[in-house]
Amino acid sequence: MTPNTRASAAPNESSDAFASDLLRGHTDTIVLGVLREADRYGFEIYKTIRDATDGRYEIKEATLYATFRRLDKDGLVEAYWGDETQGGRRKYYRITDAGRAVYRQNVLDWTATQQIINTLLNLPNTDKKETAR
Amino acid sequence: MNADNSDIHRLLDEAFAGVAMTPELQDLKEELRGNLAASSAELQAKGMDAAKAARTAVAELGDIP
């Protein structure tokens, strides 16, 4: 939560005690989710993800740019330039209808997967189950 | 604000130095410029000076081009 720790640390998401591999596999869906409510530019997307997790998950910015390109190519988002006159123009991303459909499907898939994993990780002791019958 | 961004322009040019520029890369460079300005502005709002904020913002990008 210290705001500036990231400045000195190497960009390494795996220092936190959760599986960043798992998260990385959902980057597309996470970005689509961030864009559901409003068009946003790159740093804003990065910041939204960072702040929503209290800094526990900082997507690598390089990963984000690769994601933007892929989502754009697949027609799931559209990019456009803002009309900022100072401080550099910003490239905004807007989610498309196809992007919303993919987002909804991915959330359904994740919910189903999550339930299966939770079930499998909490299998009751089979011996006890037998005797309880 | 404009003065603050001169560091970003310079660092961005350095990062792209020697890279064969395609229209796609030029586009990415411009996108990065806007995002670096926003990132640097956030760091400066936390008390960092402009030069360090620009360096930090660029360093956090990782290897883009």
The helix/strand/coil state of B41 is helix
pLDDT at A12: 46
For the whole model, what pTM was predicted? Answer: 0.80
Mutation target vs A (from B60, B63, B64; most A CBs, 10 A cutoff): B60
Asked if pLDDT for residue A10 goes beyond 50, the answer is: no
Position A131 confidence tier, pLDDT thresholds 50, 70, 90? low
pLDDT at A3: 41
Q: B34–A82: do the CB atoms touch at under 8 Å?
A: yes
Instruction: Given the cut 0.95, state whether the ipTM is greater than it.
Output: no
Task: Give the residue with greater pLDDT, A126 vs A49.
Answer: A49
Q: Is the dihedral of CA A115, A117, A119, A122 positive or negative?
A: negative
Candidates A86, A77, A89, A85; CA nearest to A38 is A77
Q: B61–A61: do the CB atoms touch at under 8 Å?
A: yes
**Residues from B in contact with A at Cβ < 8 Å:** 1-2, 5, 8, 27-28, 30-39, 41-43, 46, 48, 56, 59-64
Task: State the residue for tokens 């456009």.
Answer: A80
In chain B, what residues touch A50 (CB-CB under 8 Å)? none
Measure the CA–CA gap between A109 and A111, rounded to whole angstroms.
5
Measure the CA–CA gap between A10 and B60, rounded to whole angstroms.
8
Asked if pLDDT for residue A54 goes beyond 70, the answer is: yes
Q: Residue A91: which residues within 8 A CB-CB, separation 6 or more?
A: A41, A42, A79, A80, A81, A82, B27, B30, B31, B34
Q: CA separation (Å) from A55 to A49, A74, A115, B27, B43?
A: 8, 29, 27, 29, 15
Helix (H) or strand (E) holding A94: strand A91-95
Position A56 confidence tier, pLDDT thresholds 50, 70, 90? confident
Q: B34–A47: do the CB atoms touch at under 8 Å?
A: no
* B62: nearest CB among A62, A82, A87: A62
Q: Residue B25: which residues within 8 A CB-CB, separation 6 or more?
A: B16, B19, B65
Per this entry, what is the length of chain A? 133
Structure confidence by residue, pLDDT tens digits, A72-128: 999 999 999 998 777 678 999 999 999 999 999 999 999 999 999 999 999 887 765
**Amino acid at site A133:** R
Q: B5–A88: do the CB atoms touch at under 8 Å?
A: yes
Share of chain A above pLDDT 70, in %: 80
Structure confidence by residue, pLDDT tens digits, B1-59: 444 688 999 999 998 998 899 999 999 999 999 999 999 999 999 999 999 999 999 98
